[in-house]
Amino acid sequence: MLIEIVDKAQGYSYIVDLDDGVSSAFAAKLPLRAPLRVWKEEVYVETPVELTLRGPGTIRVELGRVYYWRPGRALCMFYGVSEPYTSVHPIGRFVGPLNYLAVVEEGDEGEVKPHRPVDELSEVVAAFRRLGYIAA
């Protein structure tokens, strides 16, 4: 499932491809509004989604992956040299250039919603998806 995280203050939006195992939990709670938070080179947004994930998680993150931080029920996106405050669980992938996350400022108004491609590009997006690409 593709979701879109909109930074209303900066005029940017970010696309996340959620893993199949967590998509339905997020779909049931979207859309939602929450402030965007910044910690080191990480942007996260707290959600009402409570996931039951196996294992202790990790403190080593891979750029381009999206993580769930259990204590804050948050989606976490790392764009540089950073580490999570406590362990996180991988739940998806960031679609697009990570450096765009650097424009987010602490407390920017955020909206998380299902992503839908613009009508003019829907056929192109569908063609890329048929070829196995993550396209938004």
**Rounded mean pLDDT of 69-73?**
96
pLDDT in tens, 10-58: 999 999 999 999 999 999 999 999 999 999 999 999 999 999 998 889 9
The domain spanning residue 60 has which CATH number? 2.40.100.20
Q: How far apart are CA 110 and CA 62, in angstroms?
A: 24
Residue at 23: amino acid letter? S
- Decide: pTM greater than 0.85: yes
**Rounded mean pLDDT of 119-133?**
92
135, part of any domain: no
HSE-CB at 15 with a 13 A cutoff on CA atoms is 12
58, part of any domain: yes
**If residue 65 lies in a helix (H) or strand (E), which one and from where to where?**
strand 65-69
65, part of any domain: yes
